[in-house]
Amino acid sequence: MDINSTAFHASASAADSHNGRPLRLAVIVASNREGRFAPVISDWFLARAEQFGGLESEVVDVAQVELPTALSSRPSGQVAKELARTSAQLAAADAFVVVTPEYNHSYPAGLKNLIDWHGVEWHAKPVGFVSYGGLSGGLRAVEHLRQVFAELHAVTLRDTVSFHGPWGQFDQDGRHTEPEAAEAAVKSLLTQLTWWAQALRDAKSVRPFAA
């Protein structure tokens, strides 16, 4: 397992949410490959997010998003319906965590398609990453995603959770067999994520973000 994590101390917590509303977290499952391992990783993360507290999590699964690769400024029919659903999920989020594998030194095409169909939904919001893969633990996919989200005025977190060869690290019930390092990394990620989400949400309530 490759885990990039540093100690982070925040003066605010997710529980100190604006007007008593918990922070809304969209967990984006990036893989749509047949036989994918993604649900094991995303379920593990969602359980930790629930334990962390102060967050309302919703899954946006790329495998269940049906958007064409040809972008359109005037979508209609089924595309418009699908776009309305996913746009509403992303717009409602105060923060994102992308759970992504690494395909050929980068991230899945389905994830790029989801990102490109949207714009303002990403603006002035924090993005964290939970990655997995072979030798790099999916970190090459994360580094490519940082450039994409920077273009969309999002704030990506430095610290990540990454799993090197995860297929042998979880038992048949989805439990991590050696959890200490991963638990420390995910706590750091969620601490940073909630700090940024709270700070940016409060700032936007005072002054709307202008791209």
What is the number of other CB atoms lying within 10 angstroms of the CB of residue 105? 11
In this prediction, residue 19 carries a pLDDT of 57
DSSP letter (8 states) at residue 135 = T
What is the number of other CB atoms lying within 10 angstroms of the CB of residue 4? 17
Does the CA dihedral 179-185-186-191 come out positive or negative? positive
Read off the pLDDT of residues 122-140 as tens digits, 9 standing for 90 and up: 999 999 999 999 999 999 9
Q: φ and ψ at 119, to 5 degrees?
A: -140, -80
Q: φ and ψ at 88, to 5 degrees?
A: -65, -40
Read off the pLDDT of residues 60-82 as tens digits, 9 standing for 90 and up: 999 999 999 999 999 999 999 99
pTM: 0.89
Domains of the chain: 19-206 (3.40.50.360)
- Measure CA of the first residue to CA of the last residue in the chain; give whole Å: 37
Which segments of the chain have a pLDDT < 70?
Answer: 1-20
**Among all chains, which residue has been given the structure tokens 């991230």?**
107
DSSP letter (8 states) at residue 121 = G
Q: What is the largest CA-CA distance in the chain?
A: 49
Task: For residue 84, give both structure tokens.
Answer: 């309305």
How far is residue 71's CA from residue 76's CA, in Å, rounded to a whole number?
12
